[in-house]
Amino acid sequence: MKHTHYRTLWLSDIHLGNKDCKAEYLLDFLNTITVDTLYLVGDIVDMWEMSRQFRWPEAHNQVLHTFMQMSRDGTKVIYLPGNHDEPLQSYSGMQFGDIDIQRECVHTTAEGKQYLILHGDQFDADVTIGKFHAWIGDKGYDLLLFLNRWYNRFRQWRNNDYWSLAGYIKKHIKGANEAIARYREASCARARKMGLDGVICGHIHHPESAMVKGIHYLNDGDWIENCSALSEDNDGNLVLISWIEHMKSASTITALPARAKASKAA
Classified as helix, coil or strand, 37 is strand
The full set of domain ranges for the chain reads 4-250
Phi first, then psi, for residue 72 (nearest 5°) are -70, -25
DSSP string for residues in 109-175: -TTS-EEEEE-SGGGHHHH-SHHHHHHHHHHHHHHHHHHHHHHHHHHHHTTPPP--HHHHHHHT-HH
Q: What is the number of alpha carbons within 13 Å of residue 143 lying toward its C-beta?
A: 8
Residue 38's DSSP bridge partners are: 9, 77
Quote the CA–CA distance of 50 and 73 in Å, as a whole number.
30
Distance CA 247, CA 143 (A): 27
How many Cβ atoms sit within 10 Å of the Cβ of residue 94?
Answer: 11
Instruction: Give 109's contacts (C-beta < 8 A, 6+ positions apart).
Output: 8, 115, 232, 236, 238
Number of Cβ within 10 Å of residue 59's Cβ equals: 18
**pLDDT per residue over 105-114, tens digit each?**
999 999 999 9
In this structure, which amino acid lies at residue 58? E
**Each residue's pLDDT expressed in tens, for the chain with a length of 266 residues:** 678 999 999 999 999 999 999 999 999 999 999 999 999 999 999 998 888 888 899 999 999 999 999 999 999 999 999 999 999 999 999 988 889 999 999 999 999 999 999 999 999 888 764 443 454 456 566 767 667 776 667 777 777 777 676 666 677 666 678 888 999 999 999 999 999 999 999 999 999 999 999 999 999 999 998 999 999 999 999 999 999 888 777 755 444 433 333 333 32
Distant-in-sequence, close-in-space partners of 72: CB < 8 Å, separation ≥ 6: 98
pLDDT-above-70 percentage for the chain: 81
Contact 24, 61 (CB under 8 A): no
Q: Which CATH number fits domain 4-250: 1.10.520.10, 3.20.20.150, 3.10.20.90, 3.60.21.10?
A: 3.60.21.10
How do strand 208-212 and strand 215-219 relate by DSSP bridges? antiparallel
Residues pairing with 210 in the sheet: 217
Closest alpha carbon to 156 in 38, 63, 22: 22
Cα-to-chain-centroid distance, residue 24 = 15
Dihedral of alpha carbons 105, 110, 114, 115, sign: negative
